[in-house]
Structure 1
Amino acid sequence: MRYNLQSRNKQSRKKLALLGASVAIGALALSGCGSQKGQGNAEAESGSGSDGEVTIALLLPESKTTRYESLDKPNFEKYVAEANPEAKVKYSNANQDATQQQQQVEAAVTEGVDAIVLDPVDASAVSSALSKAEAKKIPVISYDRFFEGADYYTSFDNKKIGNLQGQAVLDGLKAEGVDPKSGPVWMVNGDPKDPNAADFKAGAEETLKAAGVEIAGSHDTLDWNPDDARKWVEGQLQSADEDPIAIYAANDGTAGGVLAATKKAKVETVVTGQDAEVDGLQNILRGDQYATIYKSIPPQAEFAAKAAVALAGGEEPEGSTTYKNTPTDFVEAKVVTKDTVKDIVGDQIKAEDICTGGVKKLCDDAGVK
């Protein structure tokens, strides 16, 4: 499902909006959002206008992962406003409910928004609603989680992130002086409905198996729920013949559930996570969690915002690469350990959020300020 965007007859006010977005996209491509390669616009060459009322629907999946409300939404709104001050963002959060998100997509289509930016709870559950968007020639951006039929996709290279996570497990074992072949490793994966979780799992398994690791247990965490992760690990610790030498956790939330179970059982093991959330970073500084994965959200939100404004104006953005035949921009990610927490403190992660209570002294020791 792809739309012929260039054949659309858009009103002139939306064309004016595109000119401003084209300049912004070009600047993003040149600056690369730091170290990132940016997307460009294939048609518009110049212009300084940012006039034109357009409405862009931003549909995010859940709020248990703190990034969506605290980083994705405000950054997306910021960059849309920069590209077109008259553009409106219609925001909805599905609260991990696929049916609710389907209704939100249908509502956006019925309202006649000019573009939809969607991070799906379950891509298969919104397919019928997306076909309605196609029928109305409303362009759709796949944000963070890929789904077929998108006009543009921006995320992180999720299999590569899985490779980084697997390597972090190996590095954590090495730091403890533990042979990765000396005992079982368990995997606490993400939500099976989330295509990113499958990529994380595939990448981590690839790296771990290449090192000769025995993956003795694997669990897909429903809805990314830390309590589901905790319950599974508790059951494993009660029934397994041997304690794990490491537990891969797909994100910092599930890592928190893992740690709740291992601490209760007084089992010490290497635990890793993802997303560089405050709780995860605090666990790293305490020495409870070995590593997380830092993903800079503002560049991703900026890519999506500039593409959305361009698509709303009837133009087709280009990515720096393609993923499954879809124009794509990936944002780089990196492993964070206790020694490197200080290196990621800035606009996205603030020291005052991490360094509270008993963690303040640990921040001082780690140079986090």
Structure 2
Amino acid sequence: MNAMTRRIVIGTAAVSMAATLAACGKAGGGSDSGKDNKSIGILLPDTVTARYGSFDKPLMEKKIKELCSDCTISYDDAAGDPSKQAQQVSTMITKGVKVLILDPQDSVGIESSVQAAVKKGIKVIAYDRLAQGPVSAYVSYDNEKIGELQGQALLTAMGANAKPTSKIVMINGDPADPNAAMFKAGAHKALDGKVNIAYEQTGLWKDTEANKKMNAAITSLGAKNIAGVYSANDTMAGGIATALKGAHINPPLTGQDAELTGLQRILVGTQTSTIYKPYKPEADATAEIAVDMIQGKDWKSITDTTAKSGSGQTVPSHLITATSVTKANINATVVKDGLYKTSDLCSAAFVQACKNAGITVG
């Protein structure tokens, strides 16, 4: 064999070996390849709503790790910005996650991002809010029923003042959130014909916006003419309570999410009710579905009903029951379940109020 022939043979062998190594690398897979991919993405909508950072995120992460110790988790939140969340979905696609748990800031606007993820083979689980697009599963609560519970709690708190001529203010959630529409529909089901909804606006889930709208309602209707206030969640109820205090009135006020500050307002009487949605069952079910998807198991055994999204998809779903909380049952619900440490709920300014509600302090 002459020198030229040897160079050709060696060169051919090197090319062949490189191709073999490349093929092995592709088949062996990293974190973003085929069946070995155990990467889960979690995208939540904002940091304003206390529950996401305090409960949803840590509970999901804990359950995922319990079920799949070698699963990797990537997390981000949209800080209330739909365009930011769309970019975060793109980042998750680039990272190569296999399953994406998505609580959409804008359920309509996120549809193209969901489509892009699914085209890359990613399974999308809609968490708490039903995103439009080809999502695989949805875990949340019976949100229209929650609205009914809120409306009924307001009527109960109003007592004899709950009559068709009584004027109430209704501050709804963000229209970009599909749950807001369901809360609103349920509340109207309970309230329509029973009271006069004299002022109705969106508070966008923000305490500052709700405060502004409540002040406008006070100016429009007159403080003494307001018999009750429907607030779709506790964050907004905080801004509303401030406006009511400034007007020197204290009508019944609803809320939702059993936020610590909301519960404390209930204890001292500046808010009359909230909705306790046990976060652990929601987070656990979502984590179980995600891990089952990762491990190729039958995740549909967890989804026991269906829901239809705004884009027409019928989505396998798991919906959890919520509970209306007032001062009368706060001890038997959120306190009993240990949602917060009693030392946090019954901090110095609320010790006596806790005792009055039957909560053991110290």
Pairwise mapping of residues 7-156 of structure 1 onto structure 2 (< 5 A)?
Answer: 54-148=38-132, 149-156=134-141
Q: Which residue of 2 aligns with 1:4?
A: none
Return the TM-score normalized by structure 1: 0.83
Higher relative contact order (CA 8 A, sep 6+): 1
Q: Which amino acid aligns with 2:154?
A: V
Unpaired runs of 5+ residues, structure 1, are: 1-9, 19-51
Cα pair 1:152 1:317 within 8 Å, conserved: no
1:182, distance to aligned residue in structure 2 (A): 3.7
Q: Which residue of 2 aligns with 1:260?
A: 242
Aligned counterparts of 1:270 and 1:363: Cα–Cα separation in 2: 19
Pairwise mapping of residues 204-283 of structure 1 onto structure 2 (< 5 A)?
Answer: 204-209=187-192, 211-222=193-204, 224-241=205-222, 243-283=225-265
- Structure 1, residues 310-331: CA drift from partner, whole Å, max 9, x if none? 1223445211111122111111
Give the secondary-structure state (helix, strand or coil) at the position aligned to 1:207: helix
Runs of 4+ deviating beyond 4 Å: 10-14
Aligned counterparts of 2:117 and 2:28: Cα–Cα separation in 1: 19
Aligned with 1:158 (options 143, 156, 164):
143
Q: Which residue of 2 aligns with 1:40?
A: none
Aligned with 2:175 (options 172, 176, 192):
192
Aligned counterparts of 2:198 and 2:124: Cα–Cα separation in 1: 40
**In the alignment, does 2:315 pair up with 1:326?**
yes
Cα pair 2:207 2:239 within 8 Å, conserved: yes
Aligned counterparts of 2:39 and 2:69: Cα–Cα separation in 1: 11
Aligned counterparts of 2:318 and 2:341: Cα–Cα separation in 1: 26
- Structure 1, residues 73-112: CA drift from partner, whole Å, max 9, x if none? 1100111011111011101011101111101101101111
Unpaired runs of 5+ residues, structure 2, are: 1-26, 309-313
Aligned counterparts of 1:256 and 1:273: Cα–Cα separation in 2: 9
Cα pair 2:41 2:75 within 8 Å, conserved: yes
Aligned counterparts of 1:136 and 1:182: Cα–Cα separation in 2: 56
Cα pair 1:189 1:197 within 8 Å, conserved: yes
Q: Which amino acid aligns with 1:302?
A: D
Give the secondary-structure state (helix, strand or coil) at the position aligned to 1:245: strand
Return the TM-score normalized by structure 2: 0.85
- Structure 1, residues 16-41: CA drift from partner, whole Å, max 9, x if none? xx9xxxxxxxxxxxxxxxxxxxxxxx
Q: Which amino acid aligns with 2:319?
A: F
Cα pair 1:173 1:180 within 8 Å, conserved: no
Aligned counterparts of 1:13 and 1:75: Cα–Cα separation in 2: 27
Aligned with 1:354 (options 326, 345, 349):
345
CA RMSD of aligned residues (A): 2.1
Aligned counterparts of 2:298 and 2:182: Cα–Cα separation in 1: 27
Aligned counterparts of 1:72 and 1:213: Cα–Cα separation in 2: 35
Aligned counterparts of 1:84 and 1:108: Cα–Cα separation in 2: 19
Cα pair 2:99 2:122 within 8 Å, conserved: yes
Give the secondary-structure state (helix, strand or coil) at the position aligned to 1:274: coil
Q: Quick one: structure 1 residues 365 and 172, their matched pair in 2 at CA, closer, same or farther if it must change by over 3 Å?
A: same
Give the secondary-structure state (helix, strand or coil) at the position aligned to 1:181: coil
- Structure 1, residues 46-72: CA drift from partner, whole Å, max 9, x if none? xxxxxx661100000011111100100
Cα pair 2:60 2:286 within 8 Å, conserved: yes
Q: Which residue of 2 aligns with 1:23?
A: none
Q: Which amino acid aligns with 2:269?
A: G
Cα pair 1:60 1:119 within 8 Å, conserved: yes
Pairwise mapping of residues 326-345 of structure 1 onto structure 2 (< 5 A)?
Answer: 326-343=315-332, 344-345=334-335
**In the alignment, does 2:345 pair up with 1:363?**
no
1:236, distance to aligned residue in structure 2 (A): 1.6
Aligned counterparts of 1:348 and 1:75: Cα–Cα separation in 2: 12
